[in-house]
Structure 1
Amino acid sequence: MSDGSKKNKIIKGGFYLTIVNTLSQFLAIAVNIVLARLLLPEDFGLVALTMTFIGFIVLFTNMGFGSSIIHETESTQKELSSIYWINLALSVFSFLIIISTASFAAVFYEEPKLTPIILVASINILLSPVFIVQFKLLERDLEFRTISIINLSGTLIGSIAAVIGAYAGLGVYALVIQALVSSAIRLVLTLYHKRWLPSFYFNFKEIKHMIWYSLKFKASKTALYFERNIDYLILGKFFSSVILGYYAFSYNIMYTPVKRISYIFSEVLFPSFSSFKNDKQKILRGYFKSVNLIALVSVPAMTILAFNADLIINVVFGNKWDEAIPIVRILCFAGAIQSVSQFGGIIFSSIGKPEVSMYVSIGRTILTASAIVLGVQYGVLWVAYFLVISKILSFILFLLVLNRHIPFSIKQLFFSLKGPLVSLISLSIIYILVSFEYITVNPSMLLIVMLIVAFLVLYIFDKKAVFGILKVLREKTK
């Protein structure tokens, strides 16, 4: 594939993933609103513990060799078949470990309800290896339109199943069903769109080089897992499932948009950066453009949510979530920072050095763990405050490591964040003026004023980027 056709395919892929993830984001928000009104804070806390425990076991029992398929760009039928069977075997092993240790998790967290929830949720472990090779082949070949259809369908049907389950009174199991149904739909659609079948063949020597890359990639993912989930691992021990539910709810409000936005870029950029792995400056330029596009949406959005949390949560989710409001206010700023730093690790994976991403994640994990250990001594709000500080330090750490491998100037970084920073400062000034009663407006009017200011700043400082997106949208809808 020529560079021109590859670039065009990447642009189209970015378009499709952007549209689908935008739709998925609105869908996720709508479903979270419904589920938050139907379920209890305790349900969200129990699911958070369940998913964290399962993820923790999978870290050490399943290598996840899919990344090597993308990095290799070309693989033989024998190599793919060997990867398929080793993935399947490790997933079965993971499943057996999880169901045999579920009761220990319940004892450790002093939550007897955890055992049956873990047993049901662990079924998801058996679904992934059935289609993961086919899905990674779609990613490797930049088939983002197909991937978009698969992901949106899984999210939609899984969400419908969760809402039906919640209305039927299934409680916490409605959230578990959501994940299971979503994976099942992705399995069926992936196998339909990618008609590849494994041969009854396995040869360790033929995939040794792929396994070595996957082990380095897995090490990076392991460190990243602890960075993102160590809060649940620790907080689940010190706080009740109800308080953990408030924290999980607040974290999801902050993290779901961040995850969706970053997912778009991660899914497009890892395979596309891998195809340009010998041109580091091209990767760097693509990264800063991506940072700009993410920040111009996430920074003002998270800031507006933080400053209007009372109004938004009471109106949208109901007053039973009032205790989550102060946590949301704080964690939104952590989300704004995380949105621009979260997907940066793909740069190291794309240039064949996923171990560097692992080192960065280890540093971030230490910062996050330190923040939580300090915070739990004073309460959940202090956990949130310290997490914001840890996110700032984590971003600085990443930039220092990135500069060592691909040198860049502070001017490049500032230029990519110029508009979002002005938006953050402008919105903060408005909030301070209203808080100290220099300006008197009701909560609804404050929200409207902030939205107007955010759009004005976006137009003034990122007009070119916005018009570029609109141009792509116009071309693709013709």
Structure 2
Amino acid sequence: MAEQTLKEKTAKGLLWGSINGGIQQILNIAFGIFLARLLSPGDYGLIGMLGIFMGIATVLQDSGFSTALINRKEINHDDYNSVFWFSFSVGIICYVILFFCAPLIADFFGHPELTNLSRVLFLWFLIGSTSIAHSAMLTKKLMVKERTKIEVCSLVVSGFVGVLLAYKGFAYWGIAIQTVTHSLVGSILRWYYVPWKPTFTFALRPLKEMYSFGVKILFTSIFAQINANIFSVLLGRFYKEDQVGYYTQGNKWMTMGYTFIWSMIGNVSLPVLSEVALDVERQRQVFRKMLRFVSFISFPAMLGLALVAPELIVIGVSDKWLPCVPVMQLLCIWGAVTPISNLYTHVLLSHGKSDIYLYSTIILGLVQLIVVISMLSLGIYYMVLAFVVVNVLWIFVWHYFVNRYIKISILDVAKDILPYCFIALIVLCITYFVTKSISNIYMLFIAKILLAMFVYGIFMHLADSVIFKESFTFLVKRK
């Protein structure tokens, strides 16, 4: 593939990824505000308790084969077809098991209402299992425009359903039906936009060829889901559902910001890095440019989100959710560095090193679990703080492994990342002190955002940032 063609595909992917992420988060914010005002922390807490079961079931039905498809150099109908039937079969098996285990889940958390709630909510991953192969094709072929349409339509339809049910007094059922509707609409649209369709044949050969790579991704993803949902489980078991709700709400707003950033590059980075995996020098250059782009966006966006968190929560979802602000601010630090960690893992996956990805994630999960449990008696704030510290420091572990394959020094990475981090911190400090005297919460919220954006732009211009100029030039040309 010619250099210009790869650049064009990457640029197109980044553009549509930005559009996709932006529209999604606007919709998420809009529907999230309505739902949070209509529902209680306890309603969110009940849904949050089931997150780990949904996450693991989703991982099992995928079993790492979608990532294996994306990473595969040569791919045909049998490859997609085998993954489709495997995913659908595992989805059915997982749903049946969890359906009958629902009373046990309810007993564990001490909430009988979780029995029926979980049986409905778990339909989410069963429906989703019918379009995993289609989703892999969308990513493999960099069909980011189509993914945008799918995600936006799914969010709009499911959002209206959730808000309507919450308004009618269905409480946590509104969130559950919203989640299932999102999966249903998304699956239908993936079938519509993807030209490939499954056939009633099943070849075991493609699964065998992808098994070694896929099974490691499977176990990695299981541990990643455990890591991501450990707070909901511990809080649900040892604290009241309100505490789970506050954590879930804070994490939700952080995730909106993080998802917007990662949606710009996440669907592009693995295919592009895999494309240049045989040329170490070229891959190193691509990786470093992706690091600079992510840092340029991630640090000001996520740390800025932490800065405006008090005003955002009060204005958006009312002061009844104020206890979630400290949790949200801590998680924003994690959200700022997570895209960097993800890029490291994509380099490893582009070289087929799913075993390293697996073992490192398992060890990370065990360390997190030990540290978080040790903080259990101190409360949720210190648990989240410990979680964030461990994840930030783990970047050095990812770097150690990636350095083996693309020979990149920690100093080069620091040159790519730290300038954006330091400038973002300086800008936010300036913004905080300049706006400190503003008493009106609405004016304060707007002033913080506008001033931070303006000052950050000035700093980027004075620093003669290449990424800043390239991004600005690209957007102007697109217009």
Q: What are the Cα deviations for residues 420-439 of structure 1, in whole angstroms up to 9, with x where unaligned?
A: 2223431464488689xxx8
Paired position in structure 2 for 1:319 = 319
Paired position in structure 2 for 1:65 = 65
Q: CA deviation at 1:246?
A: 0.4
Residues 223 and 361, structure 2, Cα contact 8 Å, conserved in 1:
yes
Distance 1:78 1:45 in 2: 42
Q: What are the Cα deviations for residues 147-196 of structure 1, in whole angstroms up to 9, with x where unaligned?
A: 22222222222222222222222211222222222222222221112232
Distance 1:389 1:20 in 2: 30
Distance 2:133 2:56 in 1: 22
C-alpha spacing 1:351/1:101, structure 2 compared with 1 (3 Å): same
C-alpha spacing 1:56/1:3, structure 2 compared with 1 (3 Å): same
Q: CA deviation at 1:346?
A: 1.5
Paired position in structure 1 for 2:140 = 140
Distance 1:57 1:134 in 2: 18
Residues 135 and 190, structure 1, Cα contact 8 Å, conserved in 2:
yes
1:166-181 → structure 2 map (5 Å cutoff):
166-181=166-181
C-alpha spacing 1:131/1:428, structure 2 compared with 1 (3 Å): closer
Q: Secondary structure at the match of 1:11?
A: helix
Paired position in structure 1 for 2:255 = 255
Number of equivalences: 474
C-alpha spacing 1:162/1:288, structure 2 compared with 1 (3 Å): farther
Paired position in structure 2 for 1:26 = 26
Residues 46 and 114, structure 1, Cα contact 8 Å, conserved in 2:
yes
Distance 2:425 2:31 in 1: 32
Residues 49 and 233, structure 2, Cα contact 8 Å, conserved in 1:
yes
Q: Secondary structure at the match of 2:408?
A: coil
Q: CA deviation at 1:291?
A: 2.5
Q: What are the Cα deviations for residues 116-163 of structure 1, in whole angstroms up to 9, with x where unaligned?
A: 111011112222232221221222222222222222222222222222
Distance 1:122 1:76 in 2: 31
Q: Which amino acid aligns with 1:296?
A: F
Q: CA deviation at 1:343?
A: 4.1
Q: Which amino acid aligns with 2:315?
A: V
Paired position in structure 2 for 1:188 = 188
1:127-166 → structure 2 map (5 Å cutoff):
127-166=127-166
Paired position in structure 2 for 1:365 = 365
Question: Are 2:55 and 1:55 aligned?
Answer: yes
Match of 1:464 among 459, 463, 466: 466
C-alpha spacing 1:21/1:310, structure 2 compared with 1 (3 Å): closer
Q: CA deviation at 1:277?
A: 2.1
1:221-300 → structure 2 map (5 Å cutoff):
221-300=221-300
Q: What are the Cα deviations for residues 15-39 of structure 1, in whole angstroms up to 9, with x where unaligned?
A: 1121121111222122222211111
Question: Are 2:322 and 1:337 aligned?
Answer: no
Pick which of 158-167 and 373-382 moved more. 158-167
Q: CA deviation at 1:462?
A: 6.3
Question: Are 2:365 and 1:377 aligned?
Answer: no
Distance 1:152 1:365 in 2: 33
Pick which of 88-97 and 358-367 moved more. 358-367
Distance 1:387 1:434 in 2: 32
Paired position in structure 1 for 2:105 = 105
Distance 2:106 2:339 in 1: 33
Distance 1:6 1:424 in 2: 31
Identity of aligned pairs, percent? Answer: 22
Q: Which amino acid aligns with 2:217?
A: F
Residues 70 and 136, structure 2, Cα contact 8 Å, conserved in 1:
yes
Q: CA deviation at 1:314?
A: 1.6
Distance 1:434 1:466 in 2: 25
Q: Give the gaps of 5 or more residues in structure 1.
A: none
Q: Give the gaps of 5 or more residues in structure 2.
A: none
Q: CA deviation at 1:473?
A: 2.4
Paired position in structure 1 for 2:475 = 473
Residues 125 and 183, structure 2, Cα contact 8 Å, conserved in 1:
no
Pick which of 382-391 and 426-435 moved more. 426-435
Paired position in structure 1 for 2:123 = 123
Q: CA deviation at 1:50?
A: 1.5
Pick which of 95-104 and 260-269 moved more. 260-269
Q: Secondary structure at the match of 1:111?
A: coil
Residues 419 and 458, structure 1, Cα contact 8 Å, conserved in 2:
no
Normalised TM-score (structure 2): 0.91
C-alpha spacing 1:98/1:9, structure 2 compared with 1 (3 Å): same
Distance 2:130 2:330 in 1: 40
RMSD over aligned Cα atoms: 2.5
Q: CA deviation at 1:5?
A: 2.6
C-alpha spacing 1:58/1:317, structure 2 compared with 1 (3 Å): closer
Distance 1:222 1:107 in 2: 23
Residues 99 and 119, structure 1, Cα contact 8 Å, conserved in 2:
yes
Q: CA deviation at 1:352?
A: 1.1
Q: Which amino acid aligns with 1:83?
A: V
Residues 220 and 358, structure 2, Cα contact 8 Å, conserved in 1:
yes
Q: Which amino acid aligns with 1:453?
A: V
Distance 1:151 1:310 in 2: 29
Q: Secondary structure at the match of 1:88?
A: helix
C-alpha spacing 1:164/1:440, structure 2 compared with 1 (3 Å): closer
Residues 121 and 176, structure 2, Cα contact 8 Å, conserved in 1:
yes
Q: Secondary structure at the match of 1:277?
A: coil
Q: CA deviation at 1:281?
A: 3.2
Residues 61 and 90, structure 1, Cα contact 8 Å, conserved in 2:
yes
Paired position in structure 1 for 2:407 = 407
Q: CA deviation at 1:293?
A: 2.1
Pick which of 444-453 and 33-42 moved more. 444-453
C-alpha spacing 1:422/1:460, structure 2 compared with 1 (3 Å): farther
Q: Secondary structure at the match of 2:50?
A: helix
Q: CA deviation at 1:85?
A: 1.6
C-alpha spacing 1:37/1:450, structure 2 compared with 1 (3 Å): same
Q: Secondary structure at the match of 1:377?
A: helix
Residues 57 and 97, structure 1, Cα contact 8 Å, conserved in 2:
no
Q: CA deviation at 1:379?
A: 0.8
Q: Which amino acid aligns with 2:79?
A: E
C-alpha spacing 1:120/1:139, structure 2 compared with 1 (3 Å): same
Q: Which amino acid aligns with 2:137?
A: L
Residues 62 and 94, structure 1, Cα contact 8 Å, conserved in 2:
no
Pick which of 243-252 and 83-92 moved more. 83-92
Q: CA deviation at 1:61?
A: 6.3
